[in-house]
């Protein structure tokens, strides 16, 4: 049983794709932001014809400066065979309805590629029959994609197919994963996944362990500075400003979650492992509750492209966070250290 499970997992890993599938095609990168710029540059370096679709703003100018032909979004889609939709997820449905959908309704063989599962998984975008709908979702920020490209290294992506009109959709996803420098290189891997699975994984991280870390750090800061007279500078350096946490994260990625523990002192290992056991039950309850909210779609009642209230709440919470004691002391410390 265990072995079967492992075999299944292994067969979902893909290490290469056929770039030949993208030759003689025009790829429109829609949105020249974090992902758009990085993916466009790497695709072009890999010999693919790339054009950019963007609104007329400084991103447009940047794309021109980088040597791309830039069009408004509709014109780029009209000129392309493949569109990579690299807009913020909450913006994409509106742009899609206005500038993309009317142009691809009768375009059999057109390929629409997403970098996240969100809009297809929750039905905010419903592409027409006849087009391939695929996902190539990097597990890497845009800057990291360019950095690895310079070093000749790959990175992980999740790939998936929501609509396979050509019968070749998964092969196109692999080809795009190779074109954007994720696979076909050391360190690169594509995991065959789905739009629903990608949305669950992504939103669940953002709803559970990552905010738990923020809450734990804020509580730590408040307790040591308010109850024990610790200097805010020492607390912030201990928490994240020293860069030790970033190094631990790097070691986790490179040598493994548990192996990196061995690089720490015995005291540290003892405290990590005993305390993690204590926290597990409560953490699991939270993860299960949030996973159900995401899987059932309830999450979109709090945050979705149609909800103006979500944005209002976000702006308010950001203002409060920026005025918090920790943010205030962080600003002073970072100025003293010459980081600001
Ligand atoms: P960005 O926030 O960097 O923006 C992308 C582009 O969208 C910019 O060119 C931006 O131009 C444009 N844009 C914003 N608003 C509008 C609008 N109203 N009309 C038309 N264009 C607009 O996005 P990301 O690169 O972060 O995200 C793109 C996709 O990649 C998303 O699906 C995301 O989930 C996915 N992704 C992102 C990762 C990341 O590291 N950021 C990692 C993996 C996947 P301007 O701002 O000038 O308006």
Distance 88 CA to ligand 1 centre (A): 4
* Cβ contact 284:292 at 8 Å: no
pLDDT given for residue 220 in this prediction: 98
What is the CATH classification number for the domain harbouring 108? Answer: 3.40.50.720
pTM: 0.93
Average pLDDT of every residue of the chain: 95
Claim to verify: residue 269 and residue 309 sit in the same structural domain:
yes
Claim to verify: residue 45 and residue 167 sit in the same structural domain:
yes
Distance 32 CA to ligand 1 centre (A): 7
Let me know if residue 59 belongs to a domain.
yes
Whether residue 7 is predicted with pLDDT greater than 60 in this model: the reply is no
Return the bridge partners of 148, or none.
Answer: none
Q: Could you read off the pLDDT of 188-208 as tens digits, one per residue?
A: 999 999 999 999 999 999 999
Which of 30, 71, 86, 176 has the most ligand 1 atoms within 8 A of CB, as the residue to mutate?
86
Smallest CA separation from ligand 1 atom 26, residue: 34
Let me know if residue 2 belongs to a domain.
no
pLDDT given for residue 306 in this prediction: 86
Claim to verify: residue 24 and residue 149 sit in the same structural domain:
yes
pLDDT given for residue 3 in this prediction: 41
The total number of structural domains in the chain stands at 2
Claim to verify: residue 105 and residue 214 sit in the same structural domain:
no
Distance 114 CA to ligand 1 centre (A): 11
Q: What are phi and psi of 164, to 5 degrees?
A: -115, 80
Let me know if residue 1 belongs to a domain.
no
Smallest CA separation from ligand 1 atom 43, residue: 138
Residue 208: domain span: 202-336
Let me know if residue 106 belongs to a domain.
yes
Pocket of ligand 1 (CB under 6 A): 31-36, 54-55, 57, 59, 86-89, 91, 95, 115-116, 137-138, 141-142
Smallest CA separation from ligand 1 atom 28, residue: 86
Distance 60 CA to ligand 1 centre (A): 13
pLDDT given for residue 2 in this prediction: 40
Chain centroid, CA 252 distance in Å: 19
Which of 32, 35, 84 has the most ligand 1 atoms within 8 A of CB, as the residue to mutate?
35
Calculate mean pLDDT across residues 148-155: 98
Residue at which a domain ends, from 192, 212, 234: 192
Claim to verify: residue 138 and residue 28 sit in the same structural domain:
yes
Claim to verify: residue 172 and residue 52 sit in the same structural domain:
yes
Residue at which a domain ends, from 146, 169, 192: 192
- Joined tokens for residue 31: 């949105």
pLDDT given for residue 10 in this prediction: 60
Q: Could you read off the pLDDT of 25-66 as tens digits, one per residue?
A: 999 999 999 999 999 999 999 999 999 999 999 999 999 999
Smallest CA separation from ligand 1 atom 39, residue: 141
Let me know if residue 9 belongs to a domain.
no
32 CA closest ligand 1 atom index: 9
Distance 336 CA to ligand 1 centre (A): 33
C-alpha to C-alpha distance for 135 and 115, rounded to whole angstroms: 6
In sequence order, what are the residues at sequence separation of 6 or more whose Cβ sits closer than 8 angstroms to the Cβ of residue 1?
A: none
Count of CA atoms in the C-beta half-sphere (13 A) of 270? 3
Let me know if residue 146 belongs to a domain.
yes
**Can you spell out the DSSP letters for 58-123?**
HHHHHHHHTT--EE-HHHHHHH-SEEEE-S-TTTHHHHIIIIIHHHHTT-TT-EEEESSSHHHHTT
58 CA closest ligand 1 atom index: 47
In this structure, the number of other CB atoms found within 10 A of the CB of residue 72 comes to: 14
Claim to verify: residue 207 and residue 110 sit in the same structural domain:
no
**Can you spell out the DSSP letters for 207-256?**
HTHHHHHHHHHHHHHHHHHHTS---HHHHHIIIIITSHHHHHHHHHHHH-
pLDDT band (50, 70, 90) for residue 1: very low
Smallest CA separation from ligand 1 atom 1, residue: 33
Taking alpha carbons only, the member of 11, 82, 95 closest to residue 49 is 82
Claim to verify: residue 210 and residue 304 sit in the same structural domain:
yes
Let me know if residue 3 belongs to a domain.
no
Claim to verify: residue 234 and residue 324 sit in the same structural domain:
yes
- Tokens 């890999």, located at residue: 46
Q: Could you read off the pLDDT of 113-148 as tens digits, one per residue?
A: 999 999 999 999 999 999 999 999 999 999 999 999
Claim to verify: residue 174 and residue 207 sit in the same structural domain:
no
* Cβ contact 81:109 at 8 Å: yes
Return left, alpha or beta for 98; rule: phi > 0 is left, psi -120 to 50 is alpha, else beta.
alpha
Q: What percent of the chain has pLDDT over 70?
A: 97
Claim to verify: residue 37 and residue 185 sit in the same structural domain:
yes
Distance 78 CA to ligand 1 centre (A): 21
Q: Could you read off the pLDDT of 238-271 as tens digits, one per residue?
A: 999 999 999 999 999 999 999 999 999 999 999 9
Let me know if residue 270 belongs to a domain.
yes
Torsion of CA 312, 318, 321, 327, to 10 degrees: -160
Distance 221 CA to ligand 1 centre (A): 33
138 CA closest ligand 1 atom index: 43
Claim to verify: residue 164 and residue 55 sit in the same structural domain:
yes
pLDDT band (50, 70, 90) for residue 168: very high
Count of CA atoms in the C-beta half-sphere (13 A) of 190? 29
Which of 31, 92, 305 has the most ligand 1 atoms within 8 A of CB, as the residue to mutate?
31
Residue at which a domain ends, from 170, 192, 214: 192
Comparing 68 with 3, the larger pLDDT belongs to: 68
């Amino acid at each position: 049983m265990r072995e079967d499970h492992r075999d299944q997992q292994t067969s979902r890993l893909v290490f290469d794709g056929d770039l030949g599938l993208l030759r003689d095609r025009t790829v429109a990168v829609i949105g020249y932001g974090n992902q758009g710029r990085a993916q466009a540059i790497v695709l072009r370096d890999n010999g693919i014809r790339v054009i950019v679709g963007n609104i007329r703003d400084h991103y447009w100018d940047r794309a021109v400066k980088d040597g791309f032909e830039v069009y408004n979004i509709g014109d780029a889609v009209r000129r392309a065979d493949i569109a990579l939709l690299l807009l913020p997820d909450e913006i994409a449905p509106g742009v899609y309805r206005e500038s993309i959908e009317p142009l691809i309704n009768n375009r059999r063989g057109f390929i629409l590629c997403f970098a996240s599962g969100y809009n297809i998984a929750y039905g905010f975008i419903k592409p027409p029959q006849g087009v391939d709908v695929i996902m190539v979702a990097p597990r890497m920020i845009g800057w990291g994609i360019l950095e690895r490209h310079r070093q000749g290294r790959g990175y992980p992506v999740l790939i998936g197919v929501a609509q396979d009109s050509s019968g070749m959709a998964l092969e196109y996803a692999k080809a795009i994963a190779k074109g954007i420098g994720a696979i076909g290189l050391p360190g690169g891997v594509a995991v065959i996944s789905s739009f629903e699975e990608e949305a669950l994984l992504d939103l669940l991280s953002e709803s559970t362990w990552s905010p738990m870390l923020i809450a734990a750090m804020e509580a730590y800061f408040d307790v040591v500075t308010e109850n024990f007279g610790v200097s805010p500078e020492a607390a912030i350096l201990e928490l994240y400003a020293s860069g030790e946490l970033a190094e631990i994260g790097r070691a986790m990625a490179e040598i493994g979650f548990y192996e990196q523990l061995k690089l720490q002192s015995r005291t540290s290992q003892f405290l990590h492992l005993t305390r993690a056991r204590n926290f597990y039950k409560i953490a699991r309850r939270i993860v299960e509750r949030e996973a159900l909210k995401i899987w059932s779609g309830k999450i979109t009642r709090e945050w979705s492209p149609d909800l103006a209230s979500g944005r209002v709440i976000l702006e308010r919470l950001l203002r409060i966070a920026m005025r918090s004691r920790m943010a205030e002391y962080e600003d002073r410390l970072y100025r003293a250290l010459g980081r600001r």
